[in-house]
Amino acid sequence: MPANSHVEGVSGDPTSLASLYRRWGIALVVSIGCGVLFALFAGDKPPVPIPGEASPLFWIGWGPLTAVAIVGFLASVAPQKERMRWYVGAAAAAAVFAVSSVLVAWDGAGQRAILIALHLPFVSWAAVGASVTLGRANRARHTYAFLVQSMEALVAAAVYLGAGLIFGGLTAGIFAVLGVELPEDMLRVAAAFGIGFIPVLAVASVYDPVAAPARQSPTGLARILRIMAWLLLPVALVVMALYVFWFIPSYFWRPFLERDVLAVYNATIIAILALLAAASSTGAGPQPPRAERILRPAVLSLSTLAILLNIYALVAIISRTIEYGLTPNRQTVLGWNVATLLMFAFMLAKSWSVEADGWTQVFRESLARSMPLAVGWAAWVVLVLPHL
């Protein structure tokens, strides 16, 4: 590998056979180890991240363990001295999140366990992001790139999972034809192993550990993600317009009375954030100026509708809190409404104030700079809220 491969943003010769063999060899070793641990953590219970249904080791450990495995893969493929402290710090943070969750929610009962199960994977993912973005110049650009590459990794993981399900179904069908019934314990172990085996492979498929996040080579999944986001953008605009201009006036008091409706609104707000991040990405390369000009009003319109829905949801949760009291669930939702409202407000304020030709980069960086609000609140829910 060339000497300059350890310089930020320079990937050496990632397409060489030696580099690819080493990268995928390490990915397979780490994936197998992670799969074995997942199978052990699942024990004799279903491998699902649901408190009470799964073993505490599994539903608490799967997020932090995945983060540690990914960080271990990154550190092994690209043992850059200047990044090792960030990798070690990320692994330590994931361990702290896991230990804290074990201490307060081992029994898997009550609101605390459910809230931790929802937020622990997110803060573990944030620890991985910190390990590859902190300490770099123009951190916001790298943070946004990491956001998009995370979505690409999810798409890759879905492909691997689909292939595994097809292969597993065919195998079970062949054995059924032969009159052989596979033991339930074997199927449970295979499912847990597969869930643990996939994440590192998905990361290895879309991310070169030697290069900085913002200097990754484009992948086919990046183009697919961009196309999917562009196709969903007009659908999201129509849905959000119906929310704001028809459903809310017609059924104004429903989120004040039914928390399920409020939960749908909040899930929609978070989904819109993810969609905006994917839609404003570069895909597999620079986009034509005309495409960028078309994208700007769509993104800003969707952001404006989302902020209106966010304000409405915030008023509803404040009303429910005043009427019914401050429970852990309501405190969590209240914090998320405030965090996402501030994120949308920051993105809109920055994006409206720039010329049309340069708005995309400003929007991306404003999204990245506002991410600590979400990460900080999720960390609060995992580390502090269960003790209150």
CB neighbour list of residue 186: distance below 8 Å, 6 or more residues apart: none
Q: Using DSSP, state whether 51 is helix, strand or coil.
A: strand
Question: Do 57 and 151 belong to one domain?
Answer: yes
Domain that holds residue 80: 3-215
Same-domain pairing of 58 and 118 = yes
CA distance 302 to 306: 6
What count of other Cβ atoms lies within 10 Å of the Cβ of residue 99? 11
CA nearest to 187, candidates 47, 37, 41, 30: 47
User: Within this chain, do residues 226 and 287 fall inside the same structural domain, yes or no?
Assistant: yes
Among 192, 215, 238, which residue terminates a domain? 215
Are 205 and 232 in a shared domain? no
pLDDT tens for the chain, 388 residues long, are 343 444 444 444 445 788 888 899 999 999 999 999 999 999 889 999 999 899 999 999 999 999 999 999 999 998 888 889 999 999 999 999 999 999 998 988 788 999 999 999 999 999 999 999 998 988 999 999 999 999 999 999 999 999 988 988 888 788 778 777 778 888 899 999 999 999 999 999 999 998 899 888 877 788 888 889 989 999 999 999 998 999 899 989 999 988 898 999 999 999 999 999 998 887 655 555 566 677 888 899 999 999 999 999 999 999 999 999 999 999 999 999 999 999 999 999 888 777 766 788 889 999 999 999 999 999 999 999 988 7
Q: Which stretches within 134-183 are classed as H helix?
A: 139-177
Place of tokens 């720039």: 354
Are both 193 and 315 inside the same structural domain?
no
CA angle 26, 29, 30 (to 5 degrees): 85
Residues 334 and 310 in one domain: yes
Domain count, the chain: 2
Nearest to 122 by CA among 317, 270, 338, 263: 270
Asked if residue 209 and residue 194 are part of one domain, the reply reads yes
Same domain, 90 and 13: yes
CA dist 223 and 152 (Å) reads 9
Same-domain status, 203 and 238: no
Q: Quick one: angle between helices 289-324 and 359-383, nearest 10?
A: 30
- Tallying the residues shown for the chain, one arrives at 388
Residues 211 and 172 in one domain: yes
